[in-house]
Amino acid sequence: MNHYEQEINQLMLEIFNRILVTEEKALSRGEFKDLSVAEMHTLEGIGLYNSRTMSETAAILEITTGTLTVAVDRLVRKGYVARNRDASDRRVVRVCLTRKGKLAYRMHNKFHTLLVDRITEPLSTEQRDVLLTTLKGIAGFVGEQYRRYTEYPEKQEKRTGQPHETRTTRLEGTL
């Protein structure tokens, strides 16, 4: 790794780790200290104004419905989420945020807004555009690698239209 690569790598790791820790610390010191970061992200997956089915929410969060059920059970007990049967199909369970859940969601969202505002405030319009394009590129690449390591081969084949083996072989040299 040359100096440039080392610096990029170091900065990416630092940003990733520090955002995670800051988010965790901000939560633990705030009004909603009984929520973990993962639970807060479950609230985000449910959405502020939605009443989503368990499977829709699980798909958004990219977790199994089993994992979501455990998380939702805990959030219902803590008073952040309400679970209801669908009015037109009693077999379907819908989840939505309670008033307390909405409050936690909005406060957490504010934290992220402030973070982005502080980062982008000193930048010119051109610099903001470059930052956005660069971040989209990074997110696209990292997302691809994430799916490569987490998706089942059949799902990957269905999404990409390419045989899993071929795709893995092609990516092997890049990461």
Partner 1 sequence: MTSKHSESVGQIVREALASVIGTPEKKITGEAQLILDLGMDSLALYEFVIELEEYFELQISDEDIDRIHTVDDIINEIERRLEAGKT
- Which residues, in sequence order, are CB contacts of 156 under 8 Å at separation 6+? 147, 148, 164, 167
Identity of the residue, 112 or 136, whose beta carbon is nearer to partner 1 in the bound complex: 112
- H/E stretch holding 27 reads helix 3-29
Shortest Cβ 143–partner 1 spacing (Å):
26
Calpha distance 9→4 (Å, rounded): 9
Identity of the residue, 79 or 143, whose beta carbon is nearer to partner 1 in the bound complex: 79
Shortest Cβ 120–partner 1 spacing (Å):
15
Identity of the residue, 63 or 103, whose beta carbon is nearer to partner 1 in the bound complex: 103
> Counting beta carbons within 10 angstroms of the beta carbon of residue 69, is it exposed (0 to 12), middle (13 to 18) or buried (19 or more)?
middle
Shortest Cβ 111–partner 1 spacing (Å):
10
Q: Which positions lie near partner 1, rule CB under 8 A?
A: 31, 49, 99, 102-103, 106-107, 109-110, 113
Identity of the residue, 113 or 166, whose beta carbon is nearer to partner 1 in the bound complex: 113
Question: How would you classify the pairing of strands 52-53 and 81-85?
Answer: unpaired
Shortest Cβ 71–partner 1 spacing (Å):
22
